[in-house]
Amino acid sequence: MSSQDESKGVAPRSRPRSKRLRAVWQSLETVTDPEIPVINIVEMGMINDVRLDEDHVIVDMTPTFAGCPALDFIRSEIRAAVSGFEKEVKVNVVFDPPWSTDRITEEARQKLKAFGLAPPTPASCEKGQEDMQHVPCPLCDSTHTSLESIFGPTLCRSIHYCHDCLQSFEHFKTIR
């Protein structure tokens, strides 16, 4: 992964060197954020690094929102998921590089949309240009939509209304 990608805040997906390390990453893919059950924490870009040493599996995770109430729950889920390697599990909470919605994989964005949650503005859009007033509707793709509320049922969501299919919908807010 080039340094250019990293500067955009894309997850530094380390290439697992060993079979064991790959297995740890695969185990992490079984852990989901309970508030967004359709995508796993690796697809979410919440895992910054995984390392193995003599006695430990070390997982660096970065929180989506600092006040995310699911954080402790996710940490314990990570511990449980990688408990099968006969090593002590250490889960560090790190802020560098910080989590951003640009780290959510394209595949995961499609899953969010299928879940009925309008995905965050893609990284290719100019910074600061995200238009909260005309977020594309995840149900009919119309941009004839309006922002109802910046805050929604979870910290990461806002509430919108589609004037074409006459449905309200939620949007995963862009964080960068």
Partner 1 sequence: MIATIDTLHDMEASLKSAVIDLLYRLADDAIIIGHRGSEWTGFAPILEEDIAFSSMAQDDMGHAQTFYQMLFELGEPDPDTNVFARKLDQWTCAGMVSISSQRDWAMSLVRKYFYDVAASIRLDALAEGALVPLAQLARKLRSEKKYHLMHGTMWIPRLGTGTRESHQLMQSAVDTLYPHALGMFEPTSADLLLEQAGVCPREDELRKRWQAEVENVLCGATLKVDADMSPVFGGRAGKHPKDLMALLDDMQLVYNLDPHAKW
Q: Does 176 bind partner 1 (CB under 8 A)?
A: yes
- Which class for 1: exposed (0-12), middle (13-18), buried (19 or more C-beta within 10 A)? exposed
Q: Does 172 bind partner 1 (CB under 8 A)?
A: no
Q: Does 123 bind partner 1 (CB under 8 A)?
A: no
By beta-carbon proximity to partner 1, the closer residue of 79 and 176 is 176
Here's the x/- map for partner 1, 24-43, by CB under 8 A: it reads as --------------------
Q: Does 95 bind partner 1 (CB under 8 A)?
A: yes
By beta-carbon proximity to partner 1, the closer residue of 47 and 81 is 47
100, 109, 119, 120: which one contacts partner 1 (CB under 8 A)? 100
By beta-carbon proximity to partner 1, the closer residue of 16 and 98 is 98
Q: Which residue has the tokens 């299928």?
A: 114
Here's the x/- map for partner 1, 126-165, by CB under 8 A: it reads as ------x---------------xxxxxx-x---x------
Q: How far is the CB of 131 from partner 1 (least distance, A)?
A: 12
What residues numbered 51-90 form the site for partner 1, per CB under 8 A? 65-69
Q: Does 16 bind partner 1 (CB under 8 A)?
A: no
Neighbours of 39 (CB within 10 A): 21
Q: In angstroms, rounded to a whole number, what is the distance separating the alpha carbons of residues 108 and 103?
A: 10
Contact yes or no for 53/59 (Cβ under 8 A): no
- Which class for 13: exposed (0-12), middle (13-18), buried (19 or more C-beta within 10 A)? middle
Q: Which residue, among 28, 92, 24, 103, has the nearest Cα to 61 in the 3D structure?
A: 92
Q: In angstroms, rounded to a whole number, what is the distance separating the alpha carbons of residues 86 and 11?
A: 27
Q: In angstroms, rounded to a whole number, what is the distance separating the alpha carbons of residues 92 and 115?
A: 30
By beta-carbon proximity to partner 1, the closer residue of 27 and 64 is 64
Burial 70-87 (b: 16+ CB within 10 A, else e): bbeebbebbbebbeeeeb
Query: Residue numbers of the site for partner 1 (CB under 8 A)?
Result: 65-69, 95-96, 98-100, 132, 148-153, 155, 159, 173, 175-176
